[in-house]
Amino acid sequence: MKKKLLFGLGVGLAAGAALAAVASSQRPRWRRVQEIVPPELRSPILFVPASVSGRRGLQALRALPVPARVPEGIHYEVQSAAVEGRDPVAVHVYERPDRARPSGALLWIHGGGFIMGTPAIGHEFCSRVAAELGVLVVSVDYRLAPEHPFPTPLEDAYTGLRWLGDHAGELGVDPTRVAVGGDSAGGGLAACLAQLSHDRAEVPVCFELLVYPMLDDRSVLRTDHAGTGDFVWNPRSNRFGWTCYLGHPPATESAPAYAAAARREDLTGLPKAWIGVGDLDLFHAEDVAYAERLRTAGVDVELVVVPGMYHGADVIPPAAFAPSMVGFNSAKLDALRSAIG
């Protein structure tokens, strides 16, 4: 009995010491959160210094369940988008049963750093767009890096766009009111898709909704992030994501055409854009720079920068319910409503 008590005491002391060590190691992070993140945007996830930088960690993240469902009142189905001469791709389709036809349409591309995520993470947003705007929403289940590096994810997205354009009549879509959009890596793919669509001139895109888009692989080469990228998606994860997508570490000299939207020199003629990002987001500088370059090129662009917002705060509870994030999410819908609603 004495030995058991001593053993239990030892385990308890060891566990207590371990917890104390973890708490101590997180004190600088706690202070950082207190210093720069508004109280209404603080979330437990901010105190987890997580990053993905290897295959094992990536597989663990991919295995996590997605607590998402399609709300009642939305007709939802998964279809195979087949376009002649191209690999078919699965697309998740959302619409209101009483949608007036023809309507506008949004081709949505989910985020995940090019390396993880599924359309399921966008169920809530895609359903809300379909319900409130009365449009068709098509979310592309593109293949992921590193198993499928560039250009496969982008070409999968293009297949979804081609399918939407080719079947606009039977889908009840006005081909002059087709928008593309995405968040994070999905926003980067959407920006590249708008460029690709413009150059191939097969399916017109009237608008691009870019939610804290991942636009520039050269951000990996920066050492000074000006106080951004501390939370959720950090420089280490960014390096891994871009390396997986490109098939090699980013370099200053060049990247393949359409691999990184910010690399494109001539932005004239691209569709009207909405770009939203927080000033604590790792992508803040590249998103602001891209918006400014679009304006200089004569493209109508609306830039929304939210103070104190970190990457993904608009979908991470409880931050997502803060007034600033409610406003941010409403701004996305207002922009889409003006363009295709």
Does residue 9 lie within any of the structural domains?
A: no
Does residue 265 lie within any of the structural domains?
A: yes
What does pTM read for this prediction? 0.91
Does residue 139 lie within any of the structural domains?
A: yes
Does residue 299 lie within any of the structural domains?
A: yes
Total number of domains in the chain: 1
**Residue 49 to residue 60: CA distance in whole angstroms:** 16
Does residue 11 lie within any of the structural domains?
A: no
Q: How far is CA 199 from CA 90, 196, 266, in A?
A: 24, 5, 11
Give the structural domain span for 278.
Answer: 36-64+74-340
Does residue 25 lie within any of the structural domains?
A: no
Does residue 4 lie within any of the structural domains?
A: no
Does residue 16 lie within any of the structural domains?
A: no
Beta strands in the chain (DSSP E): 75-81, 89-95, 103-109, 136-140, 173-183, 207-211, 272-278, 301-306
- CATH number of the structural domain spanning residue 260: 3.40.50.1820
The set of catalytic residues is 184, 281, 311
**Residue 320 to residue 325: CA distance in whole angstroms:** 5
Local confidence pLDDT in tens for the 341 residues of the chain: 433 333 333 333 333 333 334 344 557 888 889 889 999 999 998 987 778 989 999 999 999 998 889 999 999 999 999 999 999 999 999 999 999 999 999 999 999 999 999 999 999 999 999 999 999 999 999 999 999 999 999 999 999 999 999 999 999 999 999 999 999 999 999 999 999 999 999 999 999 999 999 999 999 999 889 889 999 999 999 999 999 999 999 998 888 999 999 999 999 999 999 999 999 999 999 999 999 999 999 999 999 999 999 999 999 999 999 999 999 999 999 999 999 98
Q: For residue 29, what pLDDT is reported?
A: 80
Q: For residue 26, what pLDDT is reported?
A: 58
